[in-house]
Structure 1
Amino acid sequence: MNSVTVRNLLVRGMLAGLAAGLPALVTAYLLGEPHVDAAIAFEEAHSHAHGDEVEVVSRAMQSTAGLATGILVYGVALGGIAALVFCFLLGRIGRFSTRATAALLAAGALLVYLVPFLKYPANPPAVGDPDTIGQRTALYFLMMLLGILLAVGATLLGRRLAPRLGNWYATVAGGAAFVVAIGIAYAFLPAYDNVPHGFPGTLLWQFRLSTLAVQLVLWTAFGLVFGHLAERVVPARQEAPAVEEAAPVAS
């Protein structure tokens, strides 16, 4: 794949990330922000601090312009990274079309998010000990890195087993190995669940599900949009490069 194609895909990946950020923004605003407001109300009702603190950024600004800037910039940045990963994967993970490769990439990105999320889910305001935020952040990214490495390892394992077991059973074996390894990591890594007394459990899980919904919408939209844009750039012969065989010598 030449540099011009890579550059074109990078630009289209960033555009797809921006486009995917729009429905993700709507999802975050409609589903997530009401739960954030409820968590803030709980925190203020149970806080012993005085109300004379100066608010640097208003809540209205945070929930509108701040939210939009954060999600759209996030979408553009991840779209560019995903496009570069797409350039590496195309033609190397099997005879998949451009759109199918984009869909697999989006599913893999969602999995990368889901692995640490299940161990260290997002918390709304008033949940979590501020003294442990550094440790929790480090563990979250460690779990994300482990998920990426174990996913790569499971893919390599499946490819090595494919000649003996067939594609289906090799895929099942690789997926099972990935799940077992992730389960072991979950068991050994520490857990942090500092939920204050009286905080509504329903609100906590509604907030966490809303954050998961934002990621689901973001990567689903990205896979669809980027697959469409990339298909116009990538030549058909690069989607699944065939191995050239020597022509038989005429006798």
Structure 2
Amino acid sequence: MPLTTLTDSFKTLLLRGLLAGLIAGLLAGAVACTLGEPHVQAAINIEESAAAAEAPAADHHAGEVTTDPGAAEESAGHSHGDEEPLVRRTGQRAGLFLAIALAGLALGAIFAVVAHYARRFTALNGPLLAIAVAGCGWLAIEAVPFFKYPANPPAVGDPDTINERTLLWLASVILGLAAVAVYVGRALRNQQLVTLRVIGQVAAFLVVAAIGYIALPGINEVGEDFPATLLWEFRVSSLATQAMLGLALGLAFAFLTERAHRRVTR
């Protein structure tokens, strides 16, 4: 009996996707808390140190323009270093882990829907189909946007441009989906030579991604005084978290699919 998901109902695939997504979310959350959080804390320390250094200058300037001591105290009270965060760092770490776990659940549901329709257009068996869908999804949603607009730690980025940067990131996600769609479309074409088919797939993907990269504007709001090593390590940890989420989702779904069909065969 072939290991194919054609015999699985949509409900079965959805439950399997939710379970695989939860597993992937928990693993990715562990990676984010282990690798990413130290770099986030280091960036926050840099931001707070810069705010603390600016506070005396602001107080001195306030003393020059007014003689009211209450106004000077109010100006100093608004410095970033004196403000209490709405959520403490411990709560932020727990929230990060929970958010990634929930994101894994959502991606697992989307993964199941895509697998449900993708199985009608390919002869790949269940585990291979799961890995292929996970790889294409990671390329479209994570890899293509990341290499155009990589993640930045705290203290990097202008708050006034956050809406523009969010829209550009969404545009890069659409670009990734378009590039992967072209890649998959080329893969479904019947060609006698496998080598030519693979070359055509890769070339089509790269052409679409390159055109999108050229069309989308670049963003570079990293200050010259920000440590390059910290920026690099933060981005690598962010990419590792995303890679773990996609890899674990595909492998967990493939494992659950193979295990279910072996049980049915027995």
TM-score (norm 2): 0.81
Specify the alignment match of 1:242 in structure 2. Answer: none
**Distance between the aligned counterparts of 1:58 and 1:148, measured in 2?**
37
Please say if 1:82 is aligned against 2:111: yes
Instruction: Check 1:118–1:50 CA distance in 2 against 1; reply closer, same or farther (3 A cut).
Output: closer
Determine whether 1:57 maps to 2:76.
Answer: no
- The aligned residue for residue 154 of structure 1 is 183
Is 1:109 aligned to residue 137 of structure 2?
Answer: yes
- Select the residue among 19, 29, 32 that pairs with 2:36: 32
Structure-2 change in CA distance of 1:172 and 1:4 (3 Å): closer
Question: Which residue of 124, 140, 149 corresponds with 2:153?
Answer: 124
The alignment partner of 2:9 has SS state of: helix
Gaps of 5+ in 2: 55-78
CA pair 227-4 structure 1, distance change in 2 beyond 3 A: closer
Tell me, in whole angstroms, the C-alpha distance in 2 between the residues paired with 1:172 and 1:45.
51
Return 5+ residue gaps in structure 1 as ranges: 236-251
Aligned residues: 232
CA distance in 2, matches of 1:234, 1:92: 20
- Residues 123-157 of structure 1: CA distance to partner in whole angstroms, max 9, x if unpaired? 00011111111111111111111211222123223
Paired amino acid for 2:132 = L
- The alpha carbon displacement at 1:90 in A equals 1.3
Cα distance in 2 for partners of 1:50, 1:205 equals: 25
Larger radius of gyration: 2
2:225 corresponds to? 198
Structure 2 CA distance for aligned equivalents of residues 233 and 85 of structure 1: 19
Distance 2:153 2:130 in 1: 32
Is the 1:126–1:196 contact (alpha carbons within 8 Å) kept by the matching residues of 2?
A: no
Maintained 8 Å contact 2:17/2:109: yes
Provide closer, same or farther for how the CA distance between residues 130 and 50 of structure 1 changes in structure 2, counting only shifts above 3 A: closer
With over 3 angstroms needed to count, the CA separation of the structure-2 counterparts of 1:232 and 1:210, relative to structure 1, is: same
* Aligned residue among 26, 36, 41 for 1:22: 26
Separation of aligned partners in 2, 1:151 and 1:50: 43
Residue type at the aligned position of 2:237: S
* Aligned mates of 2:232, 2:194 — CA distance in 1: 38
Tell me, yes or no, if the aligned pair for 2:178 and 2:208 is still in contact at 8 Å. no
Q: TM-score, normalised by structure 1?
A: 0.86
Asked whether the equivalents of residues 10 and 84 of structure 1 are also in contact (C-alpha less than 8 Å), the reply is yes
Q: Give the distance between the partners of 2:120 and 2:186, measured in 1 at CA.
A: 18
Aligned-residue identity in percent: 42
State which of 156, 160, 163 in structure 2 corresponds to 1:134: 163
Q: Tell me the CA shift for residue 3 of structure 1.
A: 11
